[in-house]
Structure 1
Amino acid sequence: MSAKNELFSIEEIEHFVHNHHLAFLYISKTNCSVCHALLPKVEEVMAEFPKIQMAFVSVDDVPNIAGHLSIFTAPVLILYVDGKEVLREARFVHIEQFKEKVEKIYFLAE
C-alpha cells in the first residue's frame, strides 16, 4: 500500500465504493493528530486483507463528504461490501478489535 489511492470528489468516492467488492475508506483531516497516528496501524491491518481495496479521503479536499456520509469527527474508517456499508469506526479506534471485525467481514464476504 505504498501508492496512496486518494479520492477528491463525491463522484470518485461513489465510483470507488460501487466498483469494488470490498472497499475501504480512510477519511481524515490535515491537522488531525489522531488521524496521522492511526493511519500506519490501519494500513498494517489492511495489508493482511489483500482483496480489500483502500482509498483515502481528506475532509479538507472534499468538505461535502461530511454531509454525504454523516461524518462528525475524524478519522472515520468505513468498510463496504458490494457498495453497502458494513463497518464504521471513528475517532479512537481499538486496533485489535477493528482487526477482528474486518477479519470476520472479510471471510464472510468471500
Structure 2
Amino acid sequence: MMATTMGWGTTSYPDGNFSKELLAIKLRVWGFEECYSVFDITDTNLCAGGTKGVDACEGDNGGPLIIEQDSGDVLIGLVSWGRDCGKKGFPTVFSRVSSAVPWIESMMATL
C-alpha cells in the first residue's frame, strides 16, 4: 500500500535546509514484521519509506501519513522518528493512529 506524508522538514540529510513550502511524497507502507526486522517497534507504530532519497526527515515530526480511499483520505500515522533520512532499507517510523482511537474519542467527548 502507498501513503502520502507531508512536511516542512529538511530536504536532505544530514546538512539539509528546511523547506519553505509544504512538500509531499508517497511512501510504501511496510508490514509489521518487515519493519520489526529493522527496528524494535511495537503495535503502536507503523513504518513507511525506506527508499533511497525519499523520506520524511528532521522537522517533519508530527506530520501526517495519509492513504487515499474511495470514501476520502484517511490519516493512518504521524511522523515519529527514523534513522538517517532517505537511507535505503531504513523506513520512517510513524505513530499508528488506529492504536490511539479510544484515547482520541475520549478526549473528543470532553469538548
Q: TM-score range by the shorter chain?
A: under 0.3
Q: What is the TM-score when the length of structure 1 is the normalising length?
A: 0.26
Q: Which has the higher strand share?
A: 2
Which structure has more helix as a fraction of its residues? 1
Question: Could you state the TM-score of these two structures normalised by the residue count of structure 2?
Answer: 0.26
Q: Radius of gyration: which is bigger?
A: 2
